[in-house]
Amino acid sequence: MVENVLWPAQFDAALSRSEGRRVPLDLAVEEPTVDEIAKAVQQVGYDAVIERDKQYSREWEPRGRVLVQNADDAGKSDMIGAVAAYLQALRT
C-alpha cells in the first residue's frame, strides 16, 4: 500500500514554489485547509486521513496534513494536479 502525504502549503497561492507550493498559480487557492484537501482527495477517488497536529517543515504554524491511502496507481504529481482542480471547484 502506497501512502502519499499532501500538505496545505502545496496548494497555497500565497506561497512561492521555493516555499513549498507544488501547483501552478492558476490552480492554487488562498489558505487551503486539510478538510478541503481531504474532500478533494475523496472526489478524485482515494481514501484520505487527516492529521491535524502535523507541521510542514517550511512553515511556523501547524496546519496539518492529509494522508492519501490506496494511491498505488497514481503518480504524485498527477494526483496533486487533480486535487488542485477539485480545490478550485470547491471554492467557486
Q: Which CATH architecture has domain 3-91?
A: 2-Layer Sandwich (3.30)
Q: Name the β-bridge partners of 44.
A: none
Task: Compare 8 and 92 and report the one with higher pLDDT.
Answer: 8
Give the closest residue to 54 by CA, choosing from 37, 77, 76, 71. Answer: 37
With a pLDDT cut of 90, the percent of the chain lying above it is 68
pLDDT tens readout for residues 9-51: 999 999 999 999 999 999 999 999 999 999 999 998 899 999 9
64 φ/ψ sector (left φ>0, alpha ψ -120 to 50, else beta): left
Q: Where in the chain are the domains?
A: 3-91
pLDDT at 71 over 80: no
Using pLDDT thresholds of 50, 70 and 90, give the confidence band for residue 90: confident
Q: Are 10 and 23 in contact (CB under 8 A)?
A: yes
